[in-house]
Amino acid sequence: MAFRNFKMVGYVVYGRGSFNQLDEIISPHRKESRPMIFLVDHFFEGKPLVNRIPVRGNDKIIFVDVTYEPKTTYVDQLAQQLKEEFGTVSGVIGIGGGSTMDLAKAVSLMMNNPGSSADYQGWDLVKNPGVYKAGIPTLSGTGAEVSRTTVLTGPTKKLGMNSDFTPFDQIILDPELTANAPANQRFYTGMDCYIHCIESLEGTYLNEFSKSYGEKALQLCRDVFVHTDGWNEECDDKLMMASYAGGMSIAYSQVGVAHAVSYGLSYLLGTKHGIGNCIVMNHLEEYYPAGVKEFKYMVEKNKIEIPVGICKGLSDDDFEKMINVSMGMKPLWENALGKDWEKIMTREKLRALYDKL
C-alpha cells in the first residue's frame, strides 16, 4: 500500500485584518515589469475592499463573473487575455469564494501550460508549475483554499485540475472579509464544510490524520450553527478555521454520498456546490443518520430554505445522465460504502434517491 504524499499550501497567514499584509507578502514575488493580477469576485465591484488592494505599476484587477461555477472556457479566456496583454505575469491573486479561488488557481496554471484547461481535467496531468498564486477567501466552507484541485466544468466533464502544482503558494485567511455574506450563502457554503466532515469521519478511508482535522472542523461548525444564536464575529473566525481544517481532513480521506449525488445535479441542472450538497444531505438518513438529523436541526435553527422537488419533471434520459455522472465518482462511493459499494448503491437505488430530490 502506498501512502498519499500530498503537497500543501506554501504559506498561511490568519487573523482579522491580515489582508492589510497583502502588499508586503506579494512584493518579493513581483518580477521586473510583470504585473500582479487580482481576480476579484464580482460581488466586490464598487465595494471598499477594492480600494485596499495593493495595485502597483501595471497591475490589473479583473472582476470575475461567478454567477455560474467556473468553466474551462472561462479559464482559457482569462489566461489568453493575460498572455495577449502582458506576455506573462508575476502572479495571480484570487479574492472571493470557492469559485474565484478555483479560477485563480486554474489561470495561474494555464499561464505556463499549453492548450486548454480541459486538457488537464483529471489527476496529475498538469505538466508545468503555474505562476505565483495566492488565495484569499471571502466565504468559508469549501476548503478550496487548501485543496490540490480546482473544480471546472469542461466540454465533457466536471472535474478538477488535480495536481501537485495546484495548491496556492500563499493563502491569507482574514475572517473580516466574510463579514457581509448573506445568511443563506454563508449557510450553504458553511454546510459544504459540515458535510465534508461527516463524509470524511463516516468514511472507510478514515485515518487518524483526517480524523484529527475532521473532528476539530466539525466542532467549529457546531459552535457556529448549533450553539450560537444569530451571528457574531467569532462565528466568522471559527468558520474560516473550520473550512481550513475540513479541507485538510478530506485531503487525506475523501468525500462521500452527498458529494457523489450532488455532482450529478450540478452537471445536469447547474445546481451550485453548496446548495446542491444541502439538497442531497436532506435525504441521506440511511447513510448518515446522526449527521442528517443534526443538519436538519441546523437548517431549522438558522431559518434556511432548502429547495425540494428540483428533479420533478425530468425525463428518464436526464436521470440516466445524472446517474452516470454520480456512479463515475468511484473513490467517493468506495469511501462511503466500502469496496463492495456497487452491490449497495445500484442504479435503481440511486434513481430512487434522485426521484426524492
DSSP per residue, 268-310: HH---HHHHHHHHHTT-TTT-HHHHHHHHHHHHHTT------T
Could you say whether residue 133 binds ligand NAD (CB under 6 A)? no
Could you say whether residue 72 binds ligand NAD (CB under 6 A)? no
Q: Of 142, 163, 277, 326, which one interacts with ligand NAD (CB under 6 A)?
A: 142
CB 288 → ligand NAD: shortest distance, Å?
18
CB 141 → ligand NAD: shortest distance, Å?
6
Residue 14's closest CA among 248, 247, 244? 244
When CB distances are held under 5 to 8 angstroms depending on the partner's kind, the choice from ligand NAD, Zn ion, none that residue 271 binds is none
- Going from the C-alpha of 145 to that of each of 95, 121, 130, 170, 255, the distances in angstroms are 11, 19, 16, 9, 17
Cell 484529527 sits at which residue?
A: 212
CB 243 within 8 A of CB 46: no
Could you say whether residue 138 binds ligand NAD (CB under 6 A)? yes
CB 191 within 8 A of CB 32: no
CB 6 → ligand NAD: shortest distance, Å?
13
Of 6-14, 175-183, 293-301, 312-320, the window that binds ligand NAD (rule: CB under 6 A) is: 175-183
Could you say whether residue 237 binds ligand NAD (CB under 6 A)? no
**Which residues are paired to 171 by β-bridges?**
12, 135
Q: Of 37, 82, 111, 151, which one interacts with ligand NAD (CB under 6 A)?
A: 151
Q: Which three cell numbers stand for residue 124?
A: 496529475
CA 59 to chain centre: 26
Nearer to ligand NAD, 305 or 342 (CB): 305
* Total residues found in the chain within this entry: 357
CB 251 → ligand NAD: shortest distance, Å?
9
Could you say whether residue 175 binds ligand NAD (CB under 6 A)? no
Q: How many residues touch Zn ion (CB under 5 A)?
A: 1
Q: Of 18, 72, 99, 254, which one interacts with ligand NAD (CB under 6 A)?
A: 99
Q: Of 9, 36, 53, 66, which one interacts with ligand NAD (CB under 6 A)?
A: 66
Q: Of 18, 90, 117, 149, which one interacts with ligand NAD (CB under 6 A)?
A: 149
Could you say whether residue 147 binds ligand NAD (CB under 6 A)? yes
CB 116 within 8 A of CB 78: no
Q: Of 100, 162, 210, 253, which one interacts with ligand NAD (CB under 6 A)?
A: 100
Hey, which residues between 15 and 34 contact ligand NAD (CB under 6 A)?
A: none
d(CA 264, CA 260): 7
Helices (H) and strands (E) in the chain — how many of each? 13, 9
Could you say whether residue 335 binds ligand NAD (CB under 6 A)? no
Question: CB under 8 Å to 288, separation ≥6 — which residues?
Answer: 198, 199, 202, 256, 257, 258, 281
Could you say whether residue 145 binds Zn ion (CB under 5 A)? no
CB 191 within 8 A of CB 141: yes
Cβ-based neighbour number of residue 211 at 10 Å: 15
CB 195 → ligand NAD: shortest distance, Å?
10
Of 175-183, 185-193, 197-205, 306-314, the window that binds Zn ion (rule: CB under 5 A) is: 185-193
When CB distances are held under 5 to 8 angstroms depending on the partner's kind, the choice from ligand NAD, Zn ion, none that residue 100 binds is ligand NAD
d(CA 335, CA 206): 8
Q: Of 192, 236, 237, 294, which one interacts with Zn ion (CB under 5 A)?
A: 192
Could you say whether residue 102 binds ligand NAD (CB under 6 A)? yes
d(CA 236, CA 94): 19
Could you say whether residue 121 binds ligand NAD (CB under 6 A)? no
- Which residues are near ligand NAD by CB under 6 A? 41-43, 66, 69-70, 96-100, 102, 138-139, 142-144, 147, 149-151, 178, 180-182, 185, 189, 192, 273-274
